[in-house]
A and B are shown apart, each in its own frame.
Chain A
């Protein structure tokens, strides 16, 4: 009887979560519709800052979608049991995040109704074009991957498919980094540092998302995480956070070294108002330093600390992307080196950008889509990682 009542309560809570996810997603769609009706004039974006808040959300989700698969890869390619137990969850999260990210990217287009044009007219020299192919490929591959993991008779295929997924997603994140790396004329981008930086970021952000979702699932089922598994995850997250910090430092150091980019670095790191604030306060302090303390302090490092560290990594990643994407555009292009420049089109001036509500809602809508897919997926498939036998 007791279990029946509990089951009913659980079902009710599940529906509440679904309704919540639906509402967030629908609000995002509504915002997108509003943007389409009125044009991008209702966003904070303009002719100098052409990519704004939607891109911060979308790129976070797309990068994390690739990184979250790390867990499945370690499990199926290297055969580590605690990771194997989380393979299906990691695959599901990847699909969910990718769907969320692409939804935002697509709905932010000036002509979202022409998305079919993007799929049928691919310019082979465009990284964006390649990405259309890479993203849709990842969707199908991960779906097959999930199938090999969830269906017993398909299990032997997990390893080869896992290897393929691994290669694919590294290419995909490289592609995402290249979107910026190919922008040679902009001081913030146009460096070969970006693809590796994005790959390592994907590991860190993906793991943080997986840890958060896993914590929610364990909480829901009143289970606690196996200490052995906790230790592994904690160490892995710490390592990833440190690696990201290292690459971010190298990225800024090399920029500082090039005289032509030092003014840009000065802007982003010291003088640029909101951007240095978000970089040091958001990315560095909240998203890197505090999580490292939570992970490595001798008295900390418990489940709740690692969970908090994961949440902070996500907060830090948004701050980082805001600085990277928007700060990178706010700084003026150097077209006339050696001159002081002014014009009616913002030449030589720091561009102004302030995100508007519709674009933030659109971004949240993407998170809503990811949340919805995860919630429903977890309910339909057996996704809860069991560690009893897998711990060692």
Chain B
């Protein structure tokens, strides 16, 4: 794809997201915009960011969310065993009924994250607004968090990096994972994957504040049946899945 093309796509994407945001999901978007916080102001513990993924709307051949994540975060997008994948598409077949499901899988942003518990240096940490991150200056690259994560959400940077994005710093020899597009969220925007999914017309990913009873996501979680992956572990994840 040419640069022109991608610029144009980005422009269309942004404007359509804005229009969609104002018209289709006003509760969610307006709320988020109102939460864009000035530089220097700490994240608020009043919010808990999360996602509701509607697997019935997720299309099996589609990987727009993955592409958008790679683009937003400057990931090369390889799918080899040593490549970083912050978000991946998982295909499921029910062993009893044969029913097929497709869903995006990423860091589940647990309220009780095992990666944070096991990290020897405190590099793995949870922000007060529920986003689980790695401080790449503190990470020593021991990979214990990768061993501890029940969702295999983390990747290790196996090779020297080039062309990093200024607002998504990364580091060779450290561990990384989905940041819930923290740079966008702090600007009051939604995540790249949710935006791309919406743009592709699926609207399978709903991002928002789980603590606000009036947010779109909270309302929907109250209305529909959703589950959290490996809920038996009691990690209180920020990601909910519908239709599983």
Binding site for B on A (CB under 8 A): 36, 38-41, 46-48, 50-51, 109-112, 114-115, 117-118, 121-123, 125-129, 131-132, 179, 182-186, 329, 333, 335-336, 338-347, 351-352
Contact = CB atoms under 8 A, between A and B. Distances in A.
29 contacts: A38-B159, A38-B160, A40-B156, A41-B159, A47-B82, A47-B84, A47-B152, A51-B147, A110-B157, A111-B173, A117-B121, A118-B142, A121-B138, A123-B120, A129-B120, A131-B120, A182-B148, A183-B148, A335-B229, A336-B90, A338-B95, A338-B96, A339-B94, A340-B93, A343-B90, A343-B91, A347-B88, A351-B81, A352-B81
Interface of B: 79, 81-85, 88-96, 101, 105, 114, 116-123, 138-144, 146-152, 154-160, 171-175, 229-230, 233, 244
Given A183-B147, A333-B152, A336-B229, A123 B82 contact: no
Question: Helix, strand, loop or mixed for chain B's interface?
Answer: loop
B155 A47 contact: yes
Given A50-B147, A109-B173, A346 B156 contact: no
A106 B9 CA distance: 46
A270 to B, nearest CB: 21
B120 A132 contact: yes
A302 B157 CA distance: 52
Nearest to A48: B81
Contact of B92 (A115, A340, A345, A346): A340
B95 A121 contact: no
B140 A347 contact: no
Given A182-B148, A344-B85, A109 B94 contact: no
Nearest to A351: B81
A123 B143 CA distance: 15
Contacts of B119: 123, 126, 128
Contacts of B85: 47, 344-345
A91 B150 CA distance: 39
B151 to A, nearest CB: 6
Given A110-B174, A335-B150, A341-B90, A39 B160 contact: yes
A344 B79 contact: yes
Contacts of B155: 47
Contact of A127 (B94, B105, B118): B118
Contact of B150 (A51, A182, A185): A185
Contacts of A129: 120-121
Nearest to A125: B117
A351 B80 CA distance: 12
B16 to A, nearest CB: 28
Contacts of A343: 88-91, 105
A48 B144 CA distance: 12
